[in-house]
A and B are shown apart, each in its own frame.
Chain A
Amino acid sequence: MIAFKVNGKKRVFKGAPFTRLIDVLREHLRLTGTKEGCGEGECGACTVLLDGEPVNSCLVPVCQVEGRTVETVEGLGSPEKLGVLQRCFLERGGAQCGICTPGMLMTAQAHLRRGGKSDDASIRQALAGNLCRCTGYRHIVEAVAEAARAEGKR
């Protein structure tokens, strides 16, 4: 039995310990906000935060999550009450088809929490592990920069 927290809630998983974290999230916990794009850690669509650090949940066996905390896109906000980063993505056009968006948001969230810089190059480097095929990244980078500024003001 593997016990861990997801978005603040205690969860247990009783299946095979090498089950991928993404499958536990999507299939067992029905948290389908986390997406699978490649299954080999290239695209970053499945990014979640593990103890605050972005990881590709397709590469993490659930046994490594014992006693730790996982954050997924579902924990960032709701349509009625978007988080700061989500609001900036909406206003700046950072989401198009939306499939890379959950992973992109989680990586960006980690960057913001680390106090990451809001300049173009720093944000692009922070997002280097998350592929987006729609936006050409510009509006994503602008959204993250805007969120960094907004957080700074708080």
Chain B
Amino acid sequence: MKSLQKQEKFVGRSGLRREGPAKLCGLARYVDDLPLPGCLHGVTLRSSIPCGRIKGLRFDPAFAWDECVVVTAKDIPGKNVVALIEDDQPLLADGRVRHPQEPIALIAHLSRARAYEALKHVRVDYEPEEPVLTIEDSLAKKRLLHGADNVFKRFEIVKGDVDKALAESDVVVSGEYRVPHQEQAYIENNGMAAWVEKDGTLVVTGSLQCPYYVHKALMKAFGLPESKVRVVQATTGGGFGGKEEYPSMIAGHAALLALKSGKAVKIVYDRAEDMAATTKRHPAVVRHRTGLSKDGKLLAQDVEVVMDGGAYVTLSPVVLSRGTLHAAGPYECDHVRVRASVVATNTPPNGAFRGFGAPQTLFAVELHWEKISQSLGIDSLTLRRKNAFDLGSTTATGQKLSESVGARECLERAALRSGYAARRKRYDLWNKNPRNRTWRGAGLALVHHGAGFTGSGEVYLASKAGVELTRDGRVVVLAASTEIGQGTNTMFSQIAAETLGAPLDCVEVAGPDTGRVPNSGPTVASRTCMVVGALVRRACLQLKDELDRAGRGARDAAALRRAARLLCGREASRRFIVEYEPPPEVRWDDASYKGDAYGVYSYACCVADLEVDKATFEVRVLRLTTAQDIGKAINPLLAEGQIVGGTAQALGYALLENPVYKDGAMLNAQLTNYIIPTAPDTPPIDVELVERPYSRGPFGAKGVGELPMDVPAPAIAAAVFHATGLWVASLPITPECLCREFHDRF
């Protein structure tokens, strides 16, 4: 391994962000920066009630409507749906609304201010109906919103005989865990621009993660063939899952206005609209019953998961799937049952957010170890050592882990690096001294995260990516995978340059444009580096073979130009496109939910050190130490950036981010009162990269994007418990909730 690494010129090195200079000079063009002379600005009329029939729209006759373009559901040329997994969500509400903020009509005006003004001059007459707003009301079928039982999707994992194993266990520990909505809070709000070309091609560009999702949705809503819809990503100011599915909605809206007005139309949300209307992380309730032997060996895990999907199916089945597949944690246990469901409520649909169901269920299983630790009198680090995955372990779905299992190494390295055991002892002493004005604690958590799509997902996606050599000797990576800040451009360039033996500045990455790049699948699920990066590498190997056959090399620009003339002939470029090939050893059965749920897992351990003010109950995180096994860091600086950034988001999830809902609507849809971590809120975050290479990943790389979001929240909750002795099993752990617990107890 060592000698191999030495030969690598670009991979494993912290190459500079390719588009960095443009971003640092304010020259990168985000959708709101695009000059579209004469374009109209679109705004959205939204439902103010959670559920009911629309009786009609009333337009104020005193307003100058002739200056505006107005669109309602009847203007939709194709099918009135935002096509995704199921076609149940309308592009514009037609006759009834099922959640607050549901789009009903669109208005465009040359002036953005006038467009907003126009919204105030439309009244919607409703016949309101009794809404279903909570998981409990939905399960109790207070009203039927979906099918016969309000359940969008169910999964069950069964391994061994859980009931028997629980009955035979020395101890059984039960616990209930709750997590709330979480807002992605990318700093660039959602936005899209659309226009129709002279030849009838519908073009949309904007802030998005998945160009081909938008492409598919537009084809259906507008009844257009593939070739007549073109989706181009603009520079995107953060996504975190929040720009996975909702951009299809906004693109559809901008396109409807563009079609009707014959002009270019831009829709850029303001912060309040973005937070109130677009998708969030699914709230969840998770219950555990865990059977163990006296000495702490896991014997049985019985887990129940219920998520709140909101009003439409959107991505809920897949979010639930990932949540289900991670619900038992990175531990070997012979008897496991996970029963999971996601239910309908009259709230805005929940969707993708970094981690995608896993942070919810991993929070529960990890914090549950503290409860088990209390009842067995064995510390949770020892318990994890006894049960964590190792090479050869079998997961809840019966997957045998045959390579790249860094769980134990992450656990040991994070514990060692943070001085976890010694610190716990020191804090215990500190906490005994009543003169200290704080309590201190240290907590730890360990997680796994499956990289790529769940189960057979990658097979269905059949992603394509490639590389082209242009006649003038440039190497261009072709993929629909988007740069959203995580470093796609840089990472792909490094993989291509390394594989070809070409200089980095001869390699570029094509901007995602459905008119130019193949469908490499969505930019989600920690799959861009591991899955698409592997495709890029394969395509580059094909090009390299061609170069070798022609007796040409790629060592510098002049050599590439010479090779290009030979390989391209009269063509402008030579393309090498490859398609995903499922590894033969990966077997998964959707019907029984058994088999290899993911090709491989990444692993992470986090240790949180914090103190809690005895007077105000404020939690100050002193330090976060994390070790993460990502197979191979193609670019260590970018990989660390992912880890530190994800860790900070999870700190917000654990302590600060508290979305408040009333009548199904988010009340604090502002950065003023929905608090995300600032620089002073965020402690130093110490990262150790663990590299257990994966044979199918490019240069051994596994997924890194979501993993860091999974692990800090339970570590922080465990540390709060260690510090205060107050058991808080729901997020966020605010001073108010600690104060309440404290006064309930004393």
Contacts and interface: CB of A to CB of B under 8 A. Distances in A.
B23 interface: yes
Interface stretch (B169-177, B555-563, B642-650): B642-650
A57 interface: no
Q: Name the residue in A32, A43, A89, A99 with the highest tally of chain B Cβ atoms < 10 Å from its Cβ.
A: A99
Contacts of A138: 644, 682, 684-685
Contacts of B25: 33, 73-74, 76-79, 82, 86
Contacts of A125: 679-680
B141 interface: no
Contacts of A38: 271, 670-672
Given A42-B670, A124-B680, A131-B676, A37 B189 contact: yes
A140 B17 CA distance: 14
Interface in B625-650: 637-638, 640-641, 644-649
B270 A101 contact: no
Given A37-B187, A128-B678, A131-B678, A43 B671 contact: yes
A132 B676 CA distance: 9
Given A35-B188, A132-B679, 5 more contacts: A76-B25, A96-B485, A99-B186, A123-B679, A131-B676
B103 interface: no
B24 interface: yes
B20 A128 contact: no
A139 interface: yes
Contacts of A95: 17, 20, 23-24
A123 B61 CA distance: 55
A138 B640 CA distance: 10
B306 interface: no
A40 interface: yes
Given A32-B33, A135-B644, A141 B679 contact: yes
12 contacts: A35-B187, A35-B237, A74-B25, A74-B26, A95-B17, A96-B238, A99-B237, A100-B187, A128-B678, A136-B646, A136-B649, A136-B685
A97 interface: yes
A154 to B, nearest CB: 20
B16 interface: yes
B486 interface: yes
Interface string B206-243: 00000000000000000000000000000111111000
A140 B672 CA distance: 23
A137 B648 contact: yes
Contacts, number: 179
A139 to B, nearest CB: 6
Given A93-B640, A127-B679, A135 B645 contact: yes
A97 B482 CA distance: 11
B682 A134 contact: no
Q: Name the residue in A30, A32, A72, A102 with the highest tally of chain B Cβ atoms < 10 Å from its Cβ.
A: A32
Given A96-B645, A135-B641, A42 B24 contact: no
Interface residues of B, number: 57
Nearest to B24: A86
A99 B188 contact: yes
Interface in A56-106: 72-74, 76-79, 82, 86, 89-93, 95-102, 105
A139 B644 contact: yes
Q: Name the residue in A30, A90, A133, A135 with the highest tally of chain B Cβ atoms < 10 Å from its Cβ.
A: A133
A80 B649 CA distance: 34
B30 interface: yes
A90 B644 contact: no
A133 B644 contact: no
Nearest to B635: A93
A147 B514 CA distance: 40
Nearest to B113: A23
Contacts of B676: 131, 133
A56 B20 CA distance: 24
Contacts of B30: 35, 99
A39 interface: yes
Given A124-B679, A128-B680, A97 B485 contact: yes
B202 interface: no
Contacts of A139: 637, 640-641, 644
B21 A82 contact: yes
Contacts of A33: 25-27
Closest 7 CB pairs of A and B: A33-B26, A97-B485, A99-B237, A98-B23, A136-B648, A79-B21, A96-B485
A136 to B, nearest CB: 3
B672 A42 contact: yes
